[in-house]
Amino acid sequence: MTRPTEHAPTLRRRSLLLAGVAASAGAAPWVAAQAQAYPSRPITLIIPWPAGGSTDRHLRTLAELASKHLGQAITVENRPGAGGTLGPSTMAQTAKPDGYTIAQFPLGLLRMPHMQKTSWDPLNDFTYIIGVSGYTFGLTVKADSPYKTFKDYIEAARQRPGEINYGSTGTGSSPHLLMEELAGNAKVKLVHVPFKGNADLQAALLGGHVMAQSDASGWDKYV
């Protein structure tokens, strides 16, 4: 999770609370005075994925627990798009660096500047607060799919190049690049279908619109 900053971070904050009370090096005196009373008003948490997915459920639970601990409401805003980079990058460019607007920082934010020109910098435009969790990645299909193993799925792609597809949580996301690496190693061509997040991806899989989904643990309750 991150908040916007005007200075490059010098160390990793060890908790959400410490990130709120610590003033940035070189900050004006009024910023330090304001930080001492943090939080004195509600906090906005930007989730860069659609509502209902695994990250959304996780961060909403975290927001509820943190709200009780901090004594202030934490308002959740879903801003999906661009492989999870739209919400945080918009925050970095528009929000005040006062700790009252925070967001999840997906790994795609570190990759995107290497893939295309961006108006934000993943290292200098964010202050890192806390590492929240990791994910278990997996490739899942519908229960009635003809592919019962990953070997079956890859063999189908080998026999029908350019016809076997999968969905992911967006171009440049970890689930996307993972599948591209696997396809490259297996020397097969898979068709990638990007989605805004695992909530709409899961619905597409269950509706038969994609053959498989590469995702973090958004599929947990269906397996």
The pLDDT tens digits of the residues spanning 55-107 come to 888 899 999 999 999 999 999 999 998 888 999 999 999 999 999 999 999 88
DSSP letter assigned to residue 83: G
One domain, residues 69 and 154: no
Q: What is the pLDDT of residue 62?
A: 93
| Number of domains into which the chain is organized | 2
> Same structural domain for residues 159 and 91?
no
24 and 120 share one domain: yes
Same domain, 113 and 169: no
| Judgement on whether residues 113 and 192 belong to the same structural domain of the protein | no
Per the domain annotation, does 202 fall within a domain?
yes
Residue 36 confidence (pLDDT): 65
Tokens representing 212 are 């498989």
Query: Could you tell me where the DSSP H helices lie in the chain?
Result: 16-21, 29-36, 54-70, 86-94, 108-115, 150-159, 174-186, 198-206
Residues of the chain with pLDDT under 70: 1-36
**Residue 151 belongs to a domain:** yes
Distance CA 209, CA 165 (A): 10
Are residues 63 and 112 located together in one domain of the fold?
A: yes
Instruction: Provide the pLDDT for residue 3.
Output: 65
| CA atoms of 34 and 126, how far apart (whole Å) | 19
Of 128, 149, 184, the residue that ends a domain is: 128
Q: Are residues 162 and 116 in the same domain?
A: no
For residue 31, give the CATH number of its domain: 3.40.190.150
Q: Residue 133 domain-assigned?
A: no
Give the span between the Cα atoms of 70 and 16, in whole angstroms.
10
Which residues have C-beta within 8 Å of that of residue 196, sequence separation ≥ 6?
49, 50, 80, 81, 169, 170
Q: Does 66 map to a domain?
A: yes
Domain that holds residue 158: 138-222
3-class SS of residue 207: coil
Q: Using a cut of 0.75, tell me whether the model's pTM lies above it.
A: no
Residue 25: Cβ-neighbour burial (10 angstroms; 0-12, 13-18, 19+): exposed
Q: Tell me: do 168 and 82 sit in the same domain.
A: no
Residues 98 and 67 in one domain: yes
Tell me: do 146 and 79 sit in the same domain.
Answer: no
Question: Residue 91: its pLDDT value, please?
Answer: 93
Final residue before a domain boundary, out of 82, 99, 128: 128
- Domain C-terminal end among 128, 162, 195: 128
Residue 28 lies in a domain: yes
Give the pair of three-digit tokens for residue 200. 């709409």
pLDDT at 34: 52
Same domain for 81 and 164, yes or no, is no
Q: Please report the DSSP string for 54-69 in residue order.
A: HHHHHHHHHHHHHHHH
pLDDT at 26: 40
- pLDDT for residue 82: 86
| Mean pLDDT score across all residues of the chain | 83
Q: Is residue 63 assigned to a domain?
A: yes
Tokens standing for residue 124: 């200098």
Q: Are residues 58 and 76 in the same domain?
A: yes
